[in-house]
Every structure is written in C-alpha cells, then in structure tokens.
Amino acid sequence: MLFALAITALVLVPVVVTFSSFAQVDGDILAHLAEFVLPELVGNTLWLMLGVGIGVSVLGVSLAWLTAMCDFPGRRLFDWALLLPLALPAYVTAFVAIGLLDFTGPLQTWLREGWGITGLPEIRSRGGVILVMSLALYPYVYLIAKNAFATQGAIALEAAQSLGLSRTQGFFRVALPMARPWIAAGLMLALMETLADFGTMAIFNYDTFTTAIYKAWYSLFSLAAAAQLASILILFVLVAVVFEQRSRTRMRYGAVGRSAAQRRIRLSPALAGLAFLYAGTVLAIAFLIPVVQLALWARTILADDLDSRYWDFAWHSVLLAGIGTLMVVAVALLLAYAGRQRPGTAMTWTQRLATLGYAFPGAVLAVGLFIPVAALDNWLIDRGRSWFGFGGTEILKGTLLVMFLAYLVRFLAVGFGPIDSGLHRITRSIDEAARNLGSSTTALLTRVHLPILRASLLTAATLTFVDIMKEMPITLMTRPFGWDTLAVRVFEMTSEGEWERAALPSLAIVVAGIIPIILLTWRGTRPLD
C-alpha cells in the first residue's frame, strides 16, 4: 500500500508543480503569454481537437463496422492491417506528408510541370495537421469500436431487424448508440495523444501548448512560463480523462452477453468493391505510401548517413528504452502485486491514480519533474557546500534521472495493464492449490506465478519499449548532453527540412513499432492471454 501511494505521489508531482508555478508569477512573461500567445494556442488546440475528433471517429467507426460486421474481399487482411498506422508515430507521417505534398514536393511538381495544375491546398495548414493526426490516430477508435461491434453488433442488429428496422436504421439507431461508450473511450485516447503530440506540431509549425512549452523552455528560458502553459494543458487533458474514465465505467455496465457465431452482412458486389477501395485507400495513405517513401528516401542517403553516429543514436534509443522498460515493468509488477495483497476500493483508486500518467503530455512531465529535481539539486549543492566544502553546479540535473522518472510516469499504465490482467488470471484458489500440493512461497512464485505471467510480462515490456523508443518531447527536453536518440535525430533533421535524412532513423522506429501490433493481433487468438 505504501509503495502504491509513493507511485501515486510521483504521478501527482508534475500536476502540483505546474499549478504551483502560478505562485511566482513573472508579470512580463504572463502578460506576454496572455496577450499574444494564449488566444492563438487555445484556438489552435480547440480546432485541432474538433477536427481530429471528427476525423478519427469517422475513419475509426466506419472501418470498424466494415471489418467487424461486413464481408468483402480482403476483410481478414484489413482486419489487422488497418492497425498498422499505429507503428508510425504521427511525426513521421507528418514529415512524409509534407515532403510529398509540399509545393516543391514530387506530386505538386508533377502536376504543375506535366499538366499545368496549380493551387492545390497548402499541406502546411490547419487542415493538413488535422488530416495527418486523424490518419495516425484513427486506429485507437478502430480497435476498440471493432471489439464493441464484434461482441454485440450482430445481436443488436438482429434485435433491431426483428423489431422492423432496416439494416441502415439498425446501425444508426441501435448498434452505433450501443457502441458509444467504446467509441468515446477510443476517441478520448486519440484526443489525449493529440494534446500530447509535440513532433507533428513542430514539423507543421502549428503552435499548440506542447510546442509553446518547448519554446518557453528553450527560447525564453522561462521555467515558470513553461510550467504555467503546462498547467493549462493539464486542464484540457483532465477533461479528456474524465470523459474516458466515464466511458470505461459505462462499458462495464453496457456489456451485453457474448455474441454467438457472427453472421456477417453480405455486401452486394458493388458495395463490396467500394468497401475494399475505401479500406485500401486509408491503409495506403496512412501506412503503405509513407513507409515506401521512407524506404526510398533512406536509400538515397544510406551511404552517407549510416555511419557510427547513426549507430550511436540507435544504441542510445535501445539503451534508454531498455532501462526505462525495466523500471516500468518492475514498478508495474510491484503495483499489481500490491493490489493483489490488499484488494479494496482504496487500492483500486490508488492504482488508478498511479497509472494516470499516460494522459499527461511528455512536455508537461518534463517540466513538472525537472522543476522539483532542480530544486532538490540546489538544496543538495547548498548542503554539500556548507558541510563538505564541495563545489559544483549540478548533481542530479545533468543525469538521466528526470528522463527516467518522466518515462515511468508516462508509460506505467502501458506496462501495468497487461501485468495486472495477467495477475488476475492467477486466482486465489490457484495459490491455495499449489500450497496444498506442498509448495513453499518461493516455489509458488517460481513454479506457478512466473510461468503464468511470462507472456504478460513480455507483452508489457514490448509495448513499453516501443513507446519509449517513439517518445519525443521528454527525451528532447530532458536528455543530458550527448544522449541523442533516433527520435531526437528525427526532430533535428525535420526541423531543418531534411526529410531524406530523417527517414533512416524513422524507419528503425517504425520497424520496432510493428512488433507490438503483431503481439496485439496474436493476443486475440491465444488462450493463455
């Protein structure tokens, strides 16, 4: 219990720190922020949420309905392939889109020179950001809505039809409203990611809170301003969190009995063709074309860029992700066991709070954890000076501490989920059966718990590892000198418009990102999970 509370405290630190930044108001900066920056940031953020919200809902729900309920050529392939865009961080889709569709990009050049067509809408625009984010994030809605339709869609439709509704009416009046909590939960996850996104916004030069925090941090050198911006961003996030948690509660109550063997809707050949075309287009734009383009770009610079520095970036990525994953998995394991030893409402809430960090944008965590660590650092240095005559400027600041703490807070939920559900499979009676058969506590852990949890631990570790590898703002803002990773490299190359050179590190991230999707697809078919 104590341990669980400590983790919860760590998660709440950034919230408290950022809000308490209002205690020391820097008048000039705040005035500047309020007058010039805030209105634009809030406007940009709201438009973005609205646009991405509509985009991911339409894409996610329509694709989920097609693959879960209808039959058309390639359905089985699309069923999992439509998840692949998850492997592409939004910032990668973003720079590929700009590289391809910009005024100087191949498409516009070809249209202009070959056909004399000009005046295509500018990709570096609000619409462009929304399009890219929607394509990158629709899988959140797709995955969760697909499960909802697959478990209750057929029953709902049949019930509706038996009551005299047509299939279309049945979809809009029964199946869709029934799946609403699921869709809302997926939507909120997508919106949290939107709020947290830094890389895409930086590439599009679209000012939101995350980029503003970064600028305040680096250009204004104002921790206070960064913290104040972060606290406003947290308010947005908390709204999304409340909606998400409420949807989850409704999902529990709304769950209908397991659907019997699914009978899919047979589409007419014309409709089936359209469905294929639609799913294929989304998949092509959101995944295939970007990956092919990355590969083509990477090939052009392979000879120059695949040098020892590249391997350094890769090594840093793997090392940081590896250590971060170990921390996350260890803490998640302890937290899950704490819940098993002391079940109860208090523990459930502690666990919920402790795993809330997934909602906090990396930029917020970087600021919220840097400030207290810096304060601790100063205190330590003062003590060091007065007690030992020790001189220095930083002890903890220059280390990886802030970064790992931020990783821990942000990705604890990723590791906790699979481990906790794995642990729930080990019922109390399994423990008692082992003890009845003569097992000591050690034997119980090594012969029963560990083997049963192995798959869950592996899943947790893989998901966390890949998430840390993709992570950009925390790494960018808190890395000590010389700790550049693949994601940092992508940021640096894209901020100079060097798409080709950003492609190589991106490809590595994408390849790593495909692994958890394979895991995710397997999990549905394996009984042990």
Partner 1 sequence: MAELILDSVSQSYAARQIIADLSFTLPEGTIGCLLGPSGCGKTTALRCISGFEPIQTGEIRIGGEVVSRHGWMLPAEKRRVGMVFQDYALFPHLSVADNVGFGLRGQPSTERLARIDELLALVGLAGHAGQFPHQLSGGQQQRVALARALAPRPRLILMDEPFSNLDVELRERLSLEVRDILKRETTTALIVTHDQHEAFALADWVGVMHEGRIQQWDTPYNLYHEPANRFVADFVGQGALLPGEVINDHQVEIELGVLDGHIPIECGARGCDECVRSCHVDVLLRPDDIVHDDDSLLLAEVENKAFRGAEFLYTLKLPSGQRALSLVPSHHDHAIGEKIGIKLAVDHVVAFRRE
Q: Which residues bind partner 1 (CB under 8 A)?
A: 425, 427, 429-430, 432-440, 443, 447-448, 451-452, 454, 527-528
DSSP secondary structure code for residue 480 in this structure: P
Is the CB of 380 or the CB of 452 nearer to partner 1? 452
- The 10 Å Cβ neighbour count of residue 235 is 9
| Residue 194, C-beta contacts closer than 8 angstroms, at least 6 positions apart | 48, 49, 52, 133, 137
Measured over the CA atoms of residue 274, residue 278, residue 281 and residue 283, the dihedral's sign is negative
* Residue 419 CA to its chain's centroid (Å): 18
DSSP codes, 132-181 = HHHHHHHHHHHHHHHHHHHHHHHHHHHHHHHTT--HHHHIIIIIHHHTHH
Nearer CB in complex with partner 1: 386/429: 429
Residues in the chain: 529
Whole-angstrom distance, CA of residue 209 vs CA of residue 250 = 31
Which is nearer to partner 1, 391 or 451 (by Cβ)?
Answer: 451
- Calculate ∠ Cα 452-454-456, nearest 5°: 95
DSSP letter, residue 525: T
CA-CA distance, 442 to 345, in Å (whole number)? Answer: 29
User: What is the SS3 assignment for 33-91?
Assistant: HHHHHHHHHHHHHHHHHHHHHHHHHHHHHHHHHHHHHEECCCHHHHHHHCCHHHHCCHH
Specify burial of residue 360 (Cβ count, 10 A radius: 0-12, 13-18, 19+).
buried
**188, 335, 413, 447, 520 from 453: Cα distances, Å:** 30, 14, 17, 11, 17
E strands, 247-335, are: 265-266
d(CA 346, CA 448): 28
What span, in angstroms and rounded, lies between the C-alpha atoms of 90 and 87?
9
Q: State both tokens at 266.
A: 């047979």
Q: Phi then psi for 344, rounded to 5 degrees?
A: 155, 170
Q: Could you tell me which residues are beta bridge partners of residue 71? A: 266
SS (H, E, C) 367-435: HHHHHHHHHHHHHHHHHHHHHHCCCCCCCCCCCCHHHHHHHHHHHHHHHHHHHHHHHHHCCHHHHHHHH
> Contact at 8 Å (CB) between 336 and 419?
yes
Question: CA 414, CA 332: separation in Å to the nearest integer?
Answer: 9
Q: In the numeric block, which tokens belong to residue 491?
A: 């940021």
Question: What are 70's strand-pairing partners?
Answer: 265
